[in-house]
Amino acid sequence: MAQPATKLRSRLACAGQGLFLTLALFIIAPELSAQVPTFSGRPEVYQDPNYSIPPLDQVYGPGADAVPLFCKQPRTGFLQNLRHATTLISAAEGELGIVEYDFSATGALPFPTIKPPLILTPFFGWDSYDTDTLDLPDELYEATFEARHLRPITDTITVDMAIKPGYFGNFDSGVNQFRLQGKLAGIWEQSPTTKWVLGATYLDREDIDLLPIAGVIWRPSDLWKVDLVFPAPKVSLRAWRDCRSAWWLYVAGEFGGGSWGIERLDGTPDTATIRDLRLRMGLEREAQLVSFLLEAGYVFGRELEYGTGVGNTDLDGAAMVRAGIYY
C-alpha cells in the first residue's frame, strides 16, 4: 500500500485532473451546443416509458423573428447518451475519503420495434480510497452491463424491467466478484402529469439484497420535475430557459455504496461493503449536445463492513462535491 502522503497527493491529483477536464468541457459546452440545429435529449428513468416526450407548449417571444425556447426531444439512432461524473467525498484524518470516477454509455435497439426499444448501458466505475487506518485496497472497480426494457401493457400501465450483470473488485481477490443485479417495476399513468411507480431492485449486495422502488412522478408544469421515487428522489425547478438550453436547480437523495471482493492486508480473501446516504443540491444545464451538472452535498449513515466481520467500522459524515458532463 502506498505511503500516506504520497497516496494523498495521488488522490488529489487524480481528482483535480478529472474535475479540470469536466470544467473545461463545461466552458465550451455552450459553443458546441450552438452549432447543432436540432434539439436532442436523453431517456429518463421513469418519465418516458414509450421513449417519447409529451409535447410542451411552443413559447415564442415578441416579433416575427422570435425562436422557440429549448424543449428536450428524444434522440433517433442507436446512441442515446454518453456520461461522465467525478465525485469527491472528503474525510477527516483516519476516516475514509473517496474519489469516484463513473463512465457510461446508453444505446437503444428495436425490440422488436423502436417503440419501445431495448436499452443497453455499459458502465465502468473506478473508486479511489484515501485512508491510513482502514484495511482497504487503494482502488476498487465496478464494470456492469445493463439491458433494460419498458413494455407498455395497457394505455396507462408500463412494466420497467432490467438485468445487470457486473464485476465488483480490484482484480486481485480470490473472492467471487461477479454480481447479478436487476429491477422490476410497474408504472401507472394516472394522468398526463402524474405517474405512480411500484417495484423492487435486486442489488445482490452483502448488506442489502432487495430494495423497494416506490413513489410518484409529478409534472405540475414545465417549470417543475418532481420525482419522489425511493431510493433516488429528486425535485427540480427550471431557473432559466433560452433557445439553446434549460437550467435546473434541484435537490436529490441517493442510496450509495456497494459490495466488492477484496484481499485484506494479510492476504485473506474477503468482501468489503460500503453503505451511505447522500443528500445533494445541484445545478444542471440541459442542452441539445453537451449538458453538465455541478453538485454539493452531505454523506451520512456511512458504514464499512467486511464479510468476515473483522474490522467493521462506523464512519463519520462527510461533505461531497460532484461534477458531471453528458451527451
Looking at the domain that runs over 4-326, which CATH code has it been given? 2.40.160.40
| Backbone phi and psi for residue 186, each to the nearest 5 degrees, phi listed first | -110, 145
Q: For residue 309, count other CB atoms closer than 10 A to its CB.
A: 8
8 A C-beta contact, residue 98 and residue 89: yes
- DSSP letters along 216-240, please? EEE-SSTTEEEEEEETS-EEEEEEE
Q: How far apart are the first and last CA of the chain?
A: 37
Residue 160's DSSP bridge partners are: 150, 185
8 A C-beta contact, residue 278 and residue 297: yes
Least confident of 11-15, 149-153, 164-168, 248-252: 11-15
Q: How confident is the model at residue 114 (pLDDT cuts 50, 70, 90)?
A: confident
| Residue whose entry in the numeric block shows the C-alpha cell 487524480 | 14
Residue 97 has pLDDT above 70, yes or no: yes
Domain ranges of the chain: 4-326
How far, in Å, CA of 226 to CA of 44, rounded?
13
Residue 18: per-residue pLDDT: 52
Query: Within the chain, where are the H helices?
Result: 4-34
Per-residue pLDDT of 184-213, as tens digits, reads 999 999 999 999 999 999 999 999 999 999
How far, in Å, CA of 323 to CA of 114, rounded?
32
How far, in Å, CA of 171 to CA of 167, rounded?
9
Residue 266: per-residue pLDDT: 86
8 A C-beta contact, residue 260 and residue 271: yes
Residue 176: per-residue pLDDT: 73
Of 62-76, 83-97, 205-219, where does the model show the most confidence?
Answer: 205-219
How far, in Å, CA of 186 to CA of 54, rounded?
20
Residue 68 has pLDDT above 80, yes or no: no
11-18 LR contacts (CB < 8 Å, sep 24+): 11/97, 11/99, 11/128, 11/129, 11/130, 14/99, 14/101, 14/128, 15/86, 15/88, 15/99, 15/128, 18/86, 18/99, 18/101, 18/323
Residue 124 has pLDDT above 90, yes or no: yes
Per-residue pLDDT of 137-188, as tens digits, reads 999 999 999 999 999 999 999 999 999 999 999 877 677 789 999 999 999 9
8 A C-beta contact, residue 280 and residue 295: yes
Per-residue pLDDT of 173-187, as tens digits, reads 677 789 999 999 999
E strand intervals along the chain: 79-89, 97-110, 117-130, 139-152, 157-169, 178-191, 194-202, 210-218, 224-230, 234-241, 245-263, 269-287, 291-306, 313-314, 318-326
pTM over 0.75? The answer is: yes
Average pLDDT (33-49) is 31
